[in-house]
């Protein structure tokens, strides 16, 4: 039987992107790009978001692909963002089917029909991607925001740089901890994510996880979950200072629901820590596995 620190190291390894997953993500990006190229002028496209920042949890769902549109498509910027998103959806639905393509607040989701097994494995394949239409805006970009009905400023490079700095300040453990917390957030037992979007977990971690690394995954997770519970109701601005608050999807009902789930999460963590202190290693491992999901190892 492995120790709790060894189990967390294994979880860390299991949640890291591997070469096969990176190749499949690249393949999907090129595939979706090829379909959109036939309908729009696209200057460039690239994988972005938490995937590019190495903070994406597994299974790999909603991997962001950033599509920078050319001058021929500038007329869309004078229209409601929904027009652009609807156009992307129709183009992709013609290829993948209407049930597989979903218009979202800032992107269009494409589900590839990949089955996630009982151990959260997908045979190294990406489950879904989010196609994000974007236009250059000075040194930054604008993307659709259907919540406000306006085009919203953003800059993936700034987000990535801030994540790198947070990781370095945390003895290069920050991204691993964020992946673990995101993995908890998408545990199917919640039915739906308590914290939305997943990027909000990352933004809160930027504001709450300050170095240096304390040396214990258990204790760091306990401290962060206590902070999550205490501050989930706050407004959390875009780290780039350009777009809407990252927390704008968390209305009062969602915040109340998240607080209840986080209360239970903090109780669960306390139980797991007590089991470890009591020398009940096997029970502690099972407790953490129930907390996170099947990728947390028992041996």
Are 182 and 57 in contact, with CB atoms under 8 Å apart? Answer: yes
Domain boundaries, given as residue ranges, for the chain = 4-12+158-292, 17-154
Each residue of 57-87: pLDDT tens digit?
Answer: 999 999 999 999 999 999 999 999 999 999 9
Pairing of strands 108-111, 42-48: unpaired
| pLDDT at 211 (0 to 100) | 78
pLDDT at 151 over 90: yes
Q: Which fold has domain 17-154?
A: Beta Polymerase; domain 2 (3.30.460)
User: For residue 187, what are its two tokens?
Assistant: 């545990």
| pLDDT at 299 (0 to 100) | 93
Please give the average per-residue pLDDT across 123-138, as a whole number.
97
pLDDT at 9 over 90: yes
Q: How far apart are alpha carbons 20 and 43 in whole angstroms?
A: 27
Please give the average per-residue pLDDT across 119-134, as a whole number.
97
Please tell me the pTM assigned to this model. 0.94
Q: How far apart are alpha carbons 214 and 176 in whole angstroms?
A: 14
pLDDT at 212 over 90: no
């Amino acid at each position: 039987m492995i120790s709790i620190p060894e189990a967390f190291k294994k979880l860390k390894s299991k949640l890291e992107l591997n070469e096969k997953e990176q190749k499949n993500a690249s393949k999907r990006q090129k595939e979706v790009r090829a379909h959109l190229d036939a309908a729009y002028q696209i200057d460039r496209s690239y994988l972005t978001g938490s995937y590019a920042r190495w903070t994406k949890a597994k299974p790999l769902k909603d991997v962001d692909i950033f599509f920078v549109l050319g001058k021929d498509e500038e007329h869309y910027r004078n229209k409601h963002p929904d027009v652009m998103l609807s156009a992307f959806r129709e183009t992709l639905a013609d290829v993948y089917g209407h049930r597989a393509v979903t218009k979202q607040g800032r992107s269009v989701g494409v589900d590839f029909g990949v089955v996630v097994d009982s151990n959260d494995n997908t045979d190294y394949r990406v489950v879904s991607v989010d196609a994000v239409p974007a236009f250059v805006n000075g040194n930054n970009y604008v993307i659709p925001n259907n919540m406000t009905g306006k085009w919203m400023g953003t800059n993936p490079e700034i987000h990535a740089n801030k994540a790198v700095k947070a990781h370095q300040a945390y003895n290069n453990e920050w991204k691993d901890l964020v992946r673990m917390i995101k993995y908890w957030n998408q545990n199917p037992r919640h039915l739906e994510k308590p914290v939305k979007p997943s990027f909000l977990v990352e933004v809160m971690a930027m504001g709450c996880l300050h170095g240096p690394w304390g040396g214990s995954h258990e204790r760091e997770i306990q401290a962060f979950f206590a902070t999550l519970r205490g501050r989930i109701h706050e407004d959390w601005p875009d780290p780039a200072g350009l777009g809407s608050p990252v927390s704008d999807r968390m209305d009062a009902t969602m915040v109340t629901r998240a607080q209840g789930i986080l209360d239970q999460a903090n109780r669960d963590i306390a139980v797991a820590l007590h089991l470890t202190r009591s020398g009940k290693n096997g029970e502690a491992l099972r407790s953490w596995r129930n907390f996170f999901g099947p990728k947390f190892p028992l041996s």
